[in-house]
Structure 1
Amino acid sequence: MSDRPVSEFRAGFAAFVGRPNVGKSTLMNALVGTKVAITSSKPQTTRRVIRGIVHRPDAQLVIVDTPGLHRPRTLLGERLDSLVLSTLTEVDVLGFCVPANEPIGKGDRFIAEKLGAVKKTPVIAVVTKCDLASREEVAKQLLAVSQLAEFAEIVPVSAKGDDQLDVLADLLIDRLPESPPLYAGGELTDEPEQVLVAELIREAALEGVRDELPHSIAVVVEEMGPREGRDDLLDVYAFMFVERDSQKAIVIGPGGSRLKDVGSRARKQIEALLGSRVYLDLRVKVAKEWQRDPKQLRRLGFYD
């Protein structure tokens, strides 16, 4: 924790960028201290720019978690990459995330090159998942990352072990402008509740499905509110969209078993998020080739 005087309060935005599945969302959740972004072992889990807010006596750090940059194969992929690239110039500091337990690849070099073009924004290289690598492997990765580009700092962290998170927070905050707080005290994200609920449902759906299916799943909460005459029960009506009838069968499972399991796990997460008992009505619909259809993308919340 910094010993900066409170009179020099700093506030601003930091974005985590990197290829898919390098631990950006897990890192943001760890810094914020609660779950504001869904995580999964599947690449391309994050599809929106999500903001998590870190409150300190001397600063307010707004972390922007972005989708992983990759070579897009669909219109959705193109829009996600465009979203990330536009974010790079809108924040005060960038965190370039590279996992400690995987070799540097073409994707990392591509992103490092993109970051090098953002001249006015300092870039801190963050070597993530250090709990999954030996000390020797971490040291080798730090050297490899240092050869990718010239970074303001390079810091190894472990989100799951809380290792060096305070150091990373200090490095990010040191590069924020002096400013009053941007969000009210205690607020941990500015995401609408319905979006967070939809994301929790999608996270539950990502578990236990075939490798090719997660990218075809989208969730929309159609309606959410207290049940009439009850202040202890929230009704949530949501649709899970897939692209083909065969995918619908996979999501529902034999006799509806998988959908029931998804609903049960999602409901527990939603109740923890909202602090209320929840009735979840979850249904599956087919929206053919929605990842490639501009109209369907807009309907599902992925705008130009």
Structure 2
Amino acid sequence: MKYKSGFVTIIGRPNVGKSTLLNHIIGEKMAIVSDKPQTTRNRIQCIYTEDGFQIIFIDTPGIHKPKNKLGEYMVNVSRETLAEVDVILLLVDESLIMGPGDKFILEELKSIKTDKILVINKIDKLKLEEVDIIKNNYKELNIFKEIIPLSAIKGKGVDSLIKAILKLLPEGPQYFPADMITDQPERQIVSEIIREKALHYLDDEVPHGIAVGIDLMRKREDKDIIDVNATIYCERESHKGIIIGKNGRKLKGIGKSARQDIEALLGSQIYLELWVKVEKNWREKEKQIKYFGYK
């Protein structure tokens, strides 16, 4: 059997489980998982290699109506990716009715010739007849090669998805070494881990206005310890207090939780120091968007 390889993008409304699915397939935490929408901001490329094939998955920020310059950047990244890949995966969740967000994405897909697979995620929340209702709603559109129901959080149905992707992938080379699982620099992954933990700890009005900058990431010469100094940036003075929390408890919680994941990622003891700074309206500033790695 000849070697198969290709590029697959994962799109869908915010919060349908794109990052959860990607992390399950790769077997490592590569993308932020949060119950808050629009948590993925960049195009994250992950590599899944097995005997006979290599699939390069691209997790995009999702297609939605942007509210600021950062939002415009996120949507542009998602749209550009559609034209560059071999297969498009559209993820939808357990909703029985197509919402405005789903219809907005479907309109975008109609004019694109790339092969498409519909993935119905979160089927652990559905009855069999409800899965059939969703399947039939999308079948009528006649734009998907296959429809795969699965539960990303439980791993159910993921093998069927991989088989469906392989049917559509062309023969090709192994683009990346077999042991490589992402093209993201370690600093970028570390900053995203810290941002994920902040999302879990913070109130709803704060998360969209935060970014994380890595000021220092250096291994100590005499010990197996990596020093990581990072700054959490927020847009308002009032948010700074919320992030730090009473007696610094919230910031300590973010740091402790992030440190555990960073140690697992880097395979080394981590000494993590976090600061919080205000950068007003950074999501509207091209220079700041670039500084935080979103260009």
TM-score range with shorter-chain normalisation?
Answer: over 0.9
Over residues 194-218 of structure 1, what are the superposed CA-to-partner deviations in whole Å (9 max), with x where a residue is unaligned? 0000000000000131112110110
How much has 1:102 moved relative to structure 2? 5.3
Match of 1:116 in 2: 110
Match of 1:85 in 2: 79
Over residues 228-280 of structure 1, what are the superposed CA-to-partner deviations in whole Å (9 max), with x where a residue is unaligned? 322x1000011111001001110000111100000000000000111100000
Given that 2:11 and 2:63 are in contact with CA atoms closer than 8 Å, whether structure 1 keeps it comes out as: yes
Amino acid at match of 2:62: G
Residue 6 of structure 2: SS of its match in structure 1?
strand
Distance 2:96 2:27 in 1: 26
Number of residue-to-residue matches in the alignment: 295
Given that 2:201 and 2:254 are in contact with CA atoms closer than 8 Å, whether structure 1 keeps it comes out as: no
Q: Structure 1: where are the runs of 5+ without partners?
A: none
- What TM-score comes out, normalization by structure 2 length? 0.97
Match of 2:143 in 1: 150
Distance 1:138 1:283 in 2: 46
Given that 1:52 and 1:190 are in contact with CA atoms closer than 8 Å, whether structure 2 keeps it comes out as: yes
* Runs of 4+ more than 3 Å apart: none
Match of 1:291 in 2: 283
Distance 1:64 1:173 in 2: 16
- Among 234, 248, 251, the alignment partner of 1:242 is 234
Is 1:255 paired with 2:247? Answer: yes
- What TM-score comes out, normalization by structure 1 length? 0.94
Given that 2:96 and 2:130 are in contact with CA atoms closer than 8 Å, whether structure 1 keeps it comes out as: no
Distance 1:133 1:93 in 2: 27
Deviates more, 1:276-285 or 1:157-166: 157-166
Deviates more, 1:152-161 or 1:247-256: 152-161
- Among 182, 187, 194, the alignment partner of 1:194 is 187
Distance 1:223 1:10 in 2: 40
Distance 1:19 1:213 in 2: 21
How much has 1:149 moved relative to structure 2? 4.5
Residue 12 of structure 1: SS of its match in structure 2?
strand
How much has 1:54 moved relative to structure 2? 1.2
Residue 13 of structure 2: SS of its match in structure 1?
coil
How much has 1:34 moved relative to structure 2? 1.9
Percent of matched pairs sharing the same residue: 43
How much has 1:100 moved relative to structure 2? 2.0
Distance 1:237 1:74 in 2: 29
Distance 2:97 2:217 in 1: 44
Report the RMSD for the aligned CA atoms in angstroms. 1.1
Map 1:11-30 onto structure 2 (within 5 A).
11-30=5-24
Match of 1:274 in 2: 266
Residue 271 of structure 1: SS of its match in structure 2?
helix
Match of 1:62 in 2: 56
Residue 54 of structure 1: SS of its match in structure 2?
strand
Q: Structure 2: where are the runs of 5+ without partners?
A: none
Distance 2:17 2:140 in 1: 21
Distance 1:84 1:285 in 2: 29
Given that 1:49 and 1:64 are in contact with CA atoms closer than 8 Å, whether structure 2 keeps it comes out as: yes
